[in-house]
């Protein structure tokens, strides 16, 4: 409540009438963020900024351009009928214009929408990256988060597996850049074309494909009998189910080749990817795993996921080829592949490994007037330093020196600059290097000051 009293009738001073009574005495609001969401106060924001800086640095190294889209999209962008969890948990609602809208659960459909919108004006290949907040509405029974930030990298217009190899290389680069090695994490790599070839060999219709992938993706989350039941329920005959489950347990490409024969695209793609991995220098990071299909309906080819070798955490990142997504929105198909990398599991991994970065607030100068009538001079000194690119925490009110030193230590200032009368009239300020304690008087113009400090009137 403000000191001049607020609420009905004339102004009242607090001293006369006791604490001000707010009109309709508003109930204290809940100061926590909405369920499943996070605030980012300075310490947490430093870690997030560090993570995003590393995402951006790798994206720059790979020549990707940054893009972004509205967090709010038409619900239609995410309505897929393959039984995905991401669909069941869509954060959707009807807006005041009676439009069905949703907070985006992922970024790829927005990318597809923008590519269709831009159409022929785009010169391929596109290499776009984004870091965006994504949402889900999950019953809080599981107490899981409802928002996270995802780094996405996508290559549009390249049908060759070189695109997937490049994307995995970018993630390897990111891991190495933050101190994670191939002994900490790996990538499980597969191709959905394996499944496609099996469905074809049982002359099962292609529209089973997405649903079967979504079911298989749950293979480590629900009992195998449930998996079989769901596969049967979407129309897979028992014989096909058994063959499928047999293929999922294959451990090597040569074994896969025996089962599928050497003519299929699945084997060719996977062989090319592993050969490229050799050339990129990240062979030790990847392994074939026939059971990996990922849970998004639109993947059509190579899929991969980053995992922690200790087996304690959920997938760190995941991605793959999605050559048919654009046509599901009425656009002309373009070859496409990409990945999503969330901001949560990676932090858990860094904590597990004990390699979270130590991020401290940093400011070069704290400037303080030693008495109130020098506040203007202090502002002038601060401005001069800032114009030279120096960061300054300017003390904005009269404070005892003890307070100033305490604040200087808390914000980790490198230099304390005191504007005091005796020095000031000589055009000087007192400078203390806080790490060494070394103190000296410096001419203000030697602080790279480019115009005379005008006498305070």
Ligand X SMILES: Nc1ccc(Br)nc1
CB 116 within 8 A of CB 330: yes
Token digits of residue 129: 């990256």
CB 110 within 8 A of CB 66: no
Please give the distance of CA 132 from its chain centroid, rounded to a whole number: 6
Token digits of residue 380: 């002038």
Q: Looking at beta carbons only, is 111 or 408 nearer to ligand X? A: 111
Q: Looking at beta carbons only, is 91 or 307 nearer to ligand X? A: 91
Least Cα distance to 313 among 350, 339, 348, 341 occurs for 348
Is residue 135 a contact residue for ligand X (CB under 6 A)?
A: yes
Q: Looking at beta carbons only, is 86 or 116 nearer to ligand X? A: 86
The count of residues in the chain is 457
Q: Looking at beta carbons only, is 142 or 402 nearer to ligand X? A: 142
Smallest gap, in angstroms, from Cβ of residue 398 to ligand X?
A: 47
CA–CA dist 434, 447 (Å, integer): 17
Smallest gap, in angstroms, from Cβ of residue 84 to ligand X?
A: 10
CB 377 within 8 A of CB 453: yes
| CA dist list (Å): 278 to 100, 165, 275, 424 | 47, 10, 5, 66
Residues 82, 134, 345, 346: which binds ligand X (CB under 6 A)? 134
Q: Looking at beta carbons only, is 33 or 223 nearer to ligand X? A: 33
Is residue 442 a contact residue for ligand X (CB under 6 A)?
A: no
Q: Looking at beta carbons only, is 134 or 381 nearer to ligand X? A: 134
Smallest gap, in angstroms, from Cβ of residue 320 to ligand X?
A: 16
Q: Looking at beta carbons only, is 72 or 86 nearer to ligand X? A: 86
Smallest gap, in angstroms, from Cβ of residue 270 to ligand X?
A: 27
Q: What is the rounded radius of gyration, in angstroms, for the C-alpha atoms of the chain? A: 30
Smallest gap, in angstroms, from Cβ of residue 41 to ligand X?
A: 19
Residues 113, 127, 136, 294: which binds ligand X (CB under 6 A)? 136
CA–CA dist 133, 284 (Å, integer): 32
CA–CA dist 90, 93 (Å, integer): 9
List the x/- string, 103-122, binding to ligand X by CB under 6 A: --xx----------------
List the x/- string, 27-66, binding to ligand X by CB under 6 A: ----------------------------------------
Smallest gap, in angstroms, from Cβ of residue 442 to ligand X?
A: 52
DSSP annotation of 120 reads G
Q: Looking at beta carbons only, is 103 or 198 nearer to ligand X? A: 103
**356 burial type by CB count under 10 A (0-12 exposed, 13-18 middle, 19+ buried):** middle
Q: Mind spelling out the 3-state secondary structure of 16-71? A: HHCCCCCHHHCCCCCCCCCCCCCCCCHHHHHHHHHHHHHHHHHHHHCCCEECCCCC
List the x/- string, 73-92, binding to ligand X by CB under 6 A: -------------x------
Neighbouring residues of 238: CB distance < 8 A, sequence distance ≥ 6: 232
Q: Looking at beta carbons only, is 220 or 278 nearer to ligand X? A: 220
Smallest gap, in angstroms, from Cβ of residue 330 to ligand X?
A: 24
Smallest gap, in angstroms, from Cβ of residue 382 to ligand X?
A: 41
Classified as helix, coil or strand, 423 is: helix
Smallest gap, in angstroms, from Cβ of residue 89 to ligand X?
A: 7
Query: Could you say which residues in the range 137-166 bind ligand X, by CB under 6 A?
Result: 145-148
Chain residues that interact with ligand X, rule: CB under 6 A? 86, 105-106, 134-136, 145-148
């Amino acid at each position: 409540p403000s000191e001049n009293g607020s609420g009905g009738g004339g102004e009242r001073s607090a001293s006369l009438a006791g604490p001000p009574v707010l009109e309709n005495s508003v109930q204290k609001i809940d100061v926590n963020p909405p369920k499943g969401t996070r605030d980012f106060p300075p310490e947490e924001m430093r870690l997030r900024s560090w993570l995003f800086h590393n995402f951006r640095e790798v994206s720059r190294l790979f020549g990707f351009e940054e893009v972004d889209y509205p967090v709010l999209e038409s619900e239609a962008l995410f309505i897929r009928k393959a039984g995905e969890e991401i669909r069941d948990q869509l954060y959707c609602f009807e807006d005041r214009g009676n439009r069905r809208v949703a907070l985006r659960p992922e970024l790829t459909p927005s990318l597809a929408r923008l590519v269709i919108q831009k159409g022929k004006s785009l010169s391929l290949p596109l290499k776009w990256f984004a870091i965006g907040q994504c949402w889900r509405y999950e019953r809080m029974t599981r107490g899981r988060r409802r928002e996270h930030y995802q780094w996405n990298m996508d290559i549009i217009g390249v049908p060759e597996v070189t695109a997937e190899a490049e994307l995995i290389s970018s993630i390897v680069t990111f891991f190495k850049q933050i101190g994670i090695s191939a002994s900490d994490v790996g990538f499980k790599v597969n191709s959905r074309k394996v499944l496609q070839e099996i469905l074809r060999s049982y002359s099962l219709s292609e529209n089973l494909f997405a649903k079967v992938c979504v079911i298989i993706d749950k293979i480590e989350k629900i009992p195998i009998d449930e998996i079989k039941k769901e596969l049967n329920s979407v129309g897979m005959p028992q014989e096909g189910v058994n063959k499928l489950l047999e293929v999922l347990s294959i451990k090597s490409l040569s074994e896969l080749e025996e089962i599928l024969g050497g003519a299929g695209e699945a084997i060719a793609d996977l062989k090319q990817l592993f050969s490229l991995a050799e050339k990129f220098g990240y062979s030790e990071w990847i392994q074939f795993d026939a059971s990996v299909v990922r849970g998004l309906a639109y993947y059509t080819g190579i899929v991969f996921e980053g995992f922690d070798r200790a087996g304690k955490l959920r997938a760190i990142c995941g991605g793959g080829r999605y050559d048919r997504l654009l046509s599901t929105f009425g656009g002309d198909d373009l070859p496409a592949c990409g990945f999503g990398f969330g901001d949560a599991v990676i932090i858990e991994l860094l904590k597990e490994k004990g390699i979270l970065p130590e991020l401290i607030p940093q400011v070069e100068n704290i400037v303080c007037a030693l008495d109130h009538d020098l506040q203007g001079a202090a502002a002038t000194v601060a401005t001069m330093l800032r114009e030279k690119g120096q960061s300054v925490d300017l003390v904005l009110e009269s404070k005892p020196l003890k307070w100033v030193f305490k604040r200087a230590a808390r914000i980790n200032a490198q230099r304390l600059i005191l504007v005091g009368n005796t020095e000031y009239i000589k055009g000087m300020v007192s400078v203390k290097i806080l790490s060494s304690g070394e103190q000296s008087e410096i001419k203000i113009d030697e602080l790279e000051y480019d115009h005379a400090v005008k006498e305070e009137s």
